[in-house]
Amino acid sequence: MTAPKLSPESAGAPAPPPATGPSARTRRWALAAVGVAAAAAGAGLALKRFTPGEIEGDLSDFWGRSFPTPDGGTLALSSLRGQRLLVNFWATWCPPCVEELPLLSAFYNENKANGWHLLGLAVDKAAPVTQFLARTPVSFPVALAGLEGTELSRTLGNNVGALPFSVLFDADGRVRQRKIGQLDAAELARWKG
């Protein structure tokens, strides 16, 4: 039977002192600087990734599209041209989208008398959207863009295809604001202003 190996501490020898002095302090500062630089690079990459890209071509293709609605009708985007319009691409399976819908509904209710329009373009199938809206109604129109909505959002600068994606058009039909990700009340107030 062999005796267990003892560490210097367990054998009664004093533990070596912790590293101190200029070289240890310099190493800690260097490691901290590397950590800060990595965090800044990651934040910059995330910011760039979620910054909308260029709009592809002119907007005539956007305004020329029509989509079915959950109630069986059809919504032509051309019917909304010439009005202040917020278009929100969303899906029932997207938690930030679902969380954002009550805010958008309240925004629409507060501003529709002042000429604001809001359209939810669901990047989803009809059945889940219909079921969702039956449980959680919204005050603004919703149309079913399906997978075509993903490509449409890419032409508007959603280069990562993320949801939610919101686009604000002015009364002349030009894009004024875009956001990849969930909107908040402060952003909507700025966009409205």
CA distance 158 to 49: 10
Extract the tokens encoding 2: 């062999």
Say which residues have a Cβ less than 8 Å from residue 155's Cβ, sequence separation at least 6: 55, 56, 57, 61, 62
Q: How many CA atoms lie within 13 A of 119 on its CB side?
A: 26
Amino acid 51: pLDDT? 82
pLDDT exceeds cutoff 80 at 5: no
pLDDT of residue 116: 95
Given a cut of 90, whether residue 178 has pLDDT beyond it is yes
Structure confidence at residue 54 as a pLDDT band (50, 70, 90): confident
> Which distant-in-sequence residues (6+ apart) come within 8 Å of 91 by Cβ?
97, 122, 123, 124, 163
* Local confidence band at 44 (pLDDT 50, 70, 90 cut-offs): very low
pTM of the model: 0.74
Q: For residues 58 and 174, what is the distance between their CA atoms, to the nearest angstrom?
A: 10
Q: How many CB atoms lie within 10 A of CB 148?
A: 13
